[in-house]
A and B are shown apart, each in its own frame.
Chain A
C-alpha cells in the first residue's frame, strides 16, 4: 500500500490543479479583465441612452402634434470602432424601455419581420379563415433609430487610453428630420 501513496497524492494534486471553477455572479457587477469593451460598458450605454431618449421633448412634441404615441423602428448601428461591439445589447434595452413605458410603440424590423411575414403568408394557406391574419395592416413607423460606434485608441509601451463614443439618433421617416441624438462616451485607461 505504501508505495502507492505518492502516486495517489500526485493524482490528487493533478485533480485539484485541473479543477475548473465556475461561479454565478451578479449581472450588475463590474469586472474588467482585458480593458476591451465589455458588458459593463454596454450596460452603462443602455442606461444613459434610455434616460436620454425617454426624457427629451421629441416625445411630447409628437404626441401634441398627432395625438398618438410615436411608432419607432430600429435601424442599423454601424460599428466603426477597433473592436467587435454588438449593438443589440443596448438597442434591446432601448426597445424594452419603449414598450415598458407605454409611451412609444415599436414595430418589428429586420429578419424577425421577414419571418413574421413568412408566417403570415403560410397562414393564408393553412390557417382557418377566422384566424387568418391579413396583409397590408402593418403599422408604419414614424421614426427610425440608427446609430454608430466610434473609438480612438492611444497606446504607448504598456499603457493605453481607449475612448468609445456611441451615438444614437432618431429620424422622422417622412421628413428626414433628426428629432433626437443621444450619446454615451466612455474613456478607459489600461495599464498592462
Chain B
C-alpha cells in the first residue's frame, strides 16, 4: 500500500516537472545540454573573456617583402664574410694548402 502511494507521488512529481518545463517552453532535455557544456567552463573559458584572440594573417605587401629580401641578403653576406674569416684562420694555422703544397 505504502509503495503504491510512493509510486503515485513519484509519477505526480515527474508529471509536474514535465508540465512546468513545457509551460515555460523549455526543452525537456535542457539538463543534458547543460551537462555537455558544464565541463567546458574551465580556466580557458575565463581566459577568453574580454580578451583579444589573435588570428592574424600575413598581408601581401611588396615593400615589406623587398625589405625582408634585402635583410636576408645582408645577413647572408655577413655570414659569408664570417665563414671566410674563419676558414682563413684555419689555413694560416695549417702548414699545407688545399692541394698539399707546402707554403
Contact = CB atoms under 8 A, between A and B. Distances in A.
Interface string A120-131: 000000000000
Contacts of A44: none
Interface residues of B, number: 19
A85 B51 CA distance: 11
Contact of A109 (B50, B57, B60, B61): B50
Contacts of B59: 82, 151, 153, 155
A74 interface: yes
Given A155-B63, A192-B63, A111 B47 contact: yes
Contacts of A77: 51-53
A81 interface: yes
A156 interface: yes
Contacts of A86: 52
Given A155-B62, A155-B63, A156-B62, A79 B46 contact: no
Given A155-B61, A156-B62, A84 B56 contact: yes
B58 interface: yes
B48 interface: yes
A39 to B, nearest CB: 16
Interface of A is mostly: mixed
B61 A160 contact: yes
A75 B49 contact: yes
A73 B49 contact: yes
A88 interface: yes
Contacts of A111: 46-47, 49
B56 A83 contact: yes
B40 interface: no
Contacts of B52: 76-79, 85-88
Interface centre among B43, B47, B52, B58 (most CB of A within 10 A): B52
A187 interface: no
Nearest to B58: A82
B55 interface: yes
B43 A114 contact: yes
B54 interface: yes
A75 B50 contact: yes
B63 A82 contact: no
30 contacts: A73-B49, A75-B49, A76-B50, A76-B52, A77-B51, A78-B53, A78-B55, A79-B55, A80-B56, A80-B57, A81-B56, A81-B57, A82-B57, A82-B59, A84-B54, A84-B56, A85-B52, A87-B52, A88-B50, A91-B50, A109-B46, A109-B49, A110-B47, A110-B50, A110-B51, A111-B46, A111-B47, A151-B59, A153-B59, A157-B62
